[in-house]
Structure 1
């Protein structure tokens, strides 16, 4: 019988800036991740409901298309999937508290930060 192939790690990228979203996706895909991308927290919430157990990393901007912010999405994600590695990023100071275990990255962040976080999420 053939060897079973492990499922690739899956990351959820939530960013309404197309260029930043594409860059994040490319970095993670080159690191072996399968990537799901959304431009709004509402779309990401549907992904969390449907595929949340398969995710190991979620990166979200604070300012998103739609009514919900990335901080609110981080709370939803951690409530539903406490072991999910969640990173919230913004070019402005963070004004709302993050859920326990979530991380904040001020923009601009380095691509190496994303790769390091991807490795942490797999461990």
Structure 2
């Protein structure tokens, strides 16, 4: 499958640790997706407001600086952009809540590169179905 301009073709990485963000970006640059990096949920929402139709996947840490965490981001953005695949990650097992929004995948840190690439492939080839 070839990605066209009309297809979602962006992965948004939301991570406050610059080293982890860079690692994820380097990994995801090997996919068909264009990588956009931000460090807070608020910045992610701004990006989604500008480019929401282009975003295929959001790869976000649960613990983020600011007023909103990754779970809140997934809830808010999932309502407005229901076809975006959300993958939340955390190194703190206590950060994982059992009430993740429907359709949100969780990946514990340290994540395996293959698991991240599988999620990116799913975002490209099998987007979340729109809410009807």
- Normalised by the size of structure 2, how large is the TM-score? 0.84
Measured after TM superposition, the shift of residue 60 of structure 1 is: 0.3
Partner of 2:108: 106
**Equivalents in 1 of 2:97, 2:122: separation in Å?**
26
**Equivalents in 2 of 1:29, 1:106: separation in Å?**
21
C-alpha root-mean-square deviation of aligned residues, in Å? Answer: 1.5
- 1:15-94 alignment to 2 at 5 Å? 15-93=15-93, 94=96
- For residues 57-82 of structure 1, what are the alpha-carbon distances to aligned partners after superposition, in whole Å with 9 as ceiling and x for unaligned? 00000111211101100111211111
Partner of 2:4: 6
- For residues 1-57 of structure 1, what are the alpha-carbon distances to aligned partners after superposition, in whole Å with 9 as ceiling and x for unaligned? xxxx83382100000010110011111112232111110000001111111111000
Q: SS of 2:58's equivalent? A: strand
**Equivalents in 2 of 1:91, 1:29: separation in Å?**
23
**Equivalents in 1 of 2:124, 2:67: separation in Å?**
31
Count of aligned pairs between the two proteins: 119
Q: Name structure 1 gaps, 5 residues minimum.
A: none
Q: SS of 1:66's equivalent? A: coil
- Normalised by the size of structure 1, how large is the TM-score? 0.90
Is residue 11–residue 56 contact of structure 1 (8 Å, CA) maintained in 2?
yes
**Equivalents in 2 of 1:47, 1:97: separation in Å?**
25
Measured after TM superposition, the shift of residue 95 of structure 1 is: 2.5
Partner of 1:97: 99
Partner of 2:130: none
- For residues 94-121 of structure 1, what are the alpha-carbon distances to aligned partners after superposition, in whole Å with 9 as ceiling and x for unaligned? 1362111111111111011111111111
